[in-house]
Amino acid sequence: MAKVNCGILDGFMGKVGTVVGSFWKGVPVMRAYNRHHRDAMTEQQILQRMRFKALAQLSSGFLDATVVGMHNVAVSRHMTESNVFTSMNAGAVTATDFDSLNVDFTSLVVAYGPLPQVGFGAANFDTPQQVSVTFKGNTECRYASADDDVYLFAYCPDAECGVLSAPVKRSAGTLEVRVPADWNGLKVHLWGFALGAKTNQRANQTSDSTYIGSGNIG
């Protein structure tokens, strides 16, 4: 708190707003208040910050998938899909030192829900600009409908973005996702999940996502 000596127009001592008053050789002076920030974080705190920055970048690259695969969870938790993705996948990003940030893509979740999963086979990465996969619809499972939509999501770490396929029905048996031409030769990771048809008892509910595998395009 500042102390005013002889009225509002006189010199003063102490902080007032963004300035500090004092006297130097009997002369009143005023200077800007200098707020010192000391960010004395430990190494573990810095690594934690690195992890969350990486998760935020991933959530942006996975948004095309999560707006479908995590929408219901986001609504129920009053969160955004990106925040749900970050919360569910916090354990998939690790950092033991400043030069070794690691993402376990095999454990990343891009869709979460009670719908029966699809039985995905091995992915084919040999064709330029696309990834394809065969699958079993598992329509014999309770709450699985032949009319459910099945999606593929491909993520390229070098491009830091992903592409969601157009959906096909559970009864289709094959599915492909088209990717940009500049992904040819690059490594991509692939996930699949299902979304309940309007005629399904679990309409608009999703299945848990399945990590299908990784490979280089073309």
Q: pLDDT tens digits, residue range 110-138? A: 999 999 999 999 999 999 999 999 999 99
| Least reliable range by pLDDT among 95-99, 109-113, 157-161, 206-210 | 95-99
Output the six-digit token pair for 169: 């029905």
Q: Are residue 128 and residue 205 in the same domain, yes or no?
A: yes
pLDDT at 6 over 60: no
Q: Looking at residue 205, what is its pLDDT?
A: 97
pLDDT at 201 over 80: yes
User: Which amino acid makes up residue 176?
Assistant: E
Placement of tokens 């830091």 in the chain: 160
Over residues 59-67, the mean pLDDT reads 97
Output the six-digit token pair for 206: 């999703």
Q: Which is more confident, 112 or 101?
A: 112
| DSSP summary character for residue 17 | T
Residue 95 located in a structural domain: yes
Q: Are residue 88 and residue 153 in the same domain, yes or no?
A: yes
Say if CB 169 and CB 148 are below 8 A apart: yes
pLDDT at 198 over 50: yes
Residue 121 located in a structural domain: yes
Q: Are residue 50 and residue 77 in the same domain, yes or no?
A: yes
What confidence category does residue 89 fall into, taking pLDDT thresholds of 50, 70 and 90? Answer: very high
Q: Looking at residue 37, what is its pLDDT?
A: 47
Q: Are residue 137 and residue 184 in the same domain, yes or no?
A: yes
Q: Are residue 120 and residue 145 in the same domain, yes or no?
A: yes
Residue 37 located in a structural domain: no
Average pLDDT, the chain: 88
Residue 194 located in a structural domain: yes
Residue 73 located in a structural domain: yes
Q: Are residue 20 and residue 113 in the same domain, yes or no?
A: no
pLDDT at 1 over 60: no
pLDDT at 18 over 90: no
Q: Are residue 64 and residue 157 in the same domain, yes or no?
A: yes
Residue 155 located in a structural domain: yes
Residue 89 sits in a domain of what CATH number?
Answer: 2.60.40.10
Q: Are residue 88 and residue 151 in the same domain, yes or no?
A: yes
Q: Are residue 152 and residue 208 in the same domain, yes or no?
A: yes
CA atoms within 13 A on the CB side of 199: 7
Residue 38 located in a structural domain: no
Q: Are residue 25 and residue 124 in the same domain, yes or no?
A: no
| Least reliable range by pLDDT among 36-50, 98-112, 195-209 | 36-50
Q: Are residue 124 and residue 197 in the same domain, yes or no?
A: yes
Q: Are residue 71 and residue 134 in the same domain, yes or no?
A: yes
Say if CB 85 and CB 66 are below 8 A apart: yes
The Cα–Cα gap between 18 and 102 comes to: 44
Q: pTM score, two decimals?
A: 0.79
Q: How do residues 183-193 score in pLDDT, each as one tens digit?
A: 999 999 999 99
Q: Looking at residue 44, what is its pLDDT?
A: 81
Residue 167 located in a structural domain: yes
Q: How many domains does the chain have?
A: 2
Its domain, for residue 9, covers 3-32
